[in-house]
Amino acid sequence: MDQLNEILAMQVGDNTVRNFVVAFVWFIGLFFAFKIFTKVVVKRLDKLAEKTSNNFDDALIDVINNIHWFFYVVLALYFPLMMLALNETAVSWIHGIFVVAFVYEFIRFLMGLIDVGLRSMAKKKGNEDASAFQGIRLVIKIFLWVTGLLLVLSNLGFDITSLVAGLGIGGIAIALAVQNILGDMFSSFSIVFDKPFIVGDYIVIGTDKGVVKKIGLKTTRLETLQGEELIISNKELTSVRLQNFKKMKQRRITFNIGVTYETSAKRLKEIDVLIEKIIKKVKDTEFVRCHFQGFGEFSLNFEVVYFVKSGDYSIFMDKQEEINFAIVDAFGKNKIEMAYPTQTLFVKK
């Protein structure tokens, strides 16, 4: 024991052999503790997460599993080495390597959580591949890595005051140079979060109309009824009035029917009831009214109003077609003639 104590008390530089042994034991202990954490604890947590209904805990376990093994080695080495009496240069290098590894893994960990959050938000918004979410991810990623770089440089002893000032001035200059692009980008964020429309909606902007095919960072692409692609800047979409027909729960339809002046008063009074019966028989429609509206140049005009309980344009046209066929058939059976532009010429002898 005396010989062992003598060996442990031997000086190696500014440390004794005992100091090195204690530091090595700490390193081995921490290294195996991290191994147990990743191989046993995380795996058990993963099994528990599989039993839960939410996906966040599963994603969190995946993020932890993606932590690089090199980070655990650096973490296990850092604290034992800092227990030793080392010169200022060695301490600076060890501290620098630890800061770089810690900031790198911490940013990767945050980005993993942010990706999970953005994917969840995109799914709720109805567009899992929305380009706007990729743009948000890019902005956050740039911010985190720039902040991480400044933090590392600051911990390594560099004066970052002038660098921060330069980044601020450069950022203002870049923002002024690309303000139109940034305007479209932030407009895309507004579209995604406020959700005035999503992919698949049929929208009308002024004289332009079409089905939304893609919401990008700078532009939104529509497919018109004629089949061509219409590209509109996101900034324009958030600064004008926009009609979204996909949000329509039902359609209110108003149409006119004209019958000839030769139609008798008795037949005219029957038309209201006749049309009401026809519309009420059509599924997913709601009759509102039918009135003898007035006297036209060549016809006696009736105004009909009803609802189709769907916003789909194709369904509306199917119902209108069914009603039109039924009206033509009913008018034919009741000998009611529809009017068309005519002129009656009276010749005086």
Q: Within a domain: residue 271?
A: yes
Same domain, 262 and 229: no
Q: How many whole angstroms separate alpha carbon 192 and alpha carbon 139? A: 15
Residue 114's SS3 state is: helix
Q: Within a domain: residue 172?
A: no
Same domain, 323 and 279: yes
Q: Which CATH number do you get for residue 319?
A: 3.30.70.100
Q: Within a domain: residue 279?
A: yes
Q: Within a domain: residue 165?
A: no
Same domain, 239 and 256: no
Least Cα distance to 191 among 227, 148, 236, 149 occurs for: 236
Same domain, 214 and 318: no
Q: How many domains does the chain have?
A: 3
Same domain, 224 and 257: no
**How would you write the pLDDT of the chain (349 residues) with one tens digit per residue?**
556 566 656 665 566 666 677 777 877 887 788 777 777 776 776 666 666 666 666 666 776 777 777 777 777 777 777 776 667 777 777 777 778 888 888 888 888 777 777 776 666 655 544 555 666 677 778 778 777 777 777 766 666 666 556 556 555 555 544 555 566 666 777 777 777 888 888 888 888 888 888 887 778 888 887 888 888 888 888 878 888 877 778 888 999 999 999 899 999 999 999 999 999 999 989 999 999 999 988 899 999 999 998 877 788 899 999 999 999 999 999 989 998 887 777 787 7
The pLDDT value given to residue 45: 67
Contact, 163 vs 150, CB < 8 A? yes
Q: How many whole angstroms separate alpha carbon 207 and alpha carbon 222? A: 13
List the domain range (segments joined by +) for residue 258. Answer: 248-333
Contact, 339 vs 300, CB < 8 A? yes
Q: Within a domain: residue 160?
A: no
Q: Within a domain: residue 348?
A: no
Please give the structure tokens belonging to residue 63. 């993020």
Same domain, 254 and 204: no
Helix, strand counts (H, E) of the chain: 12, 10
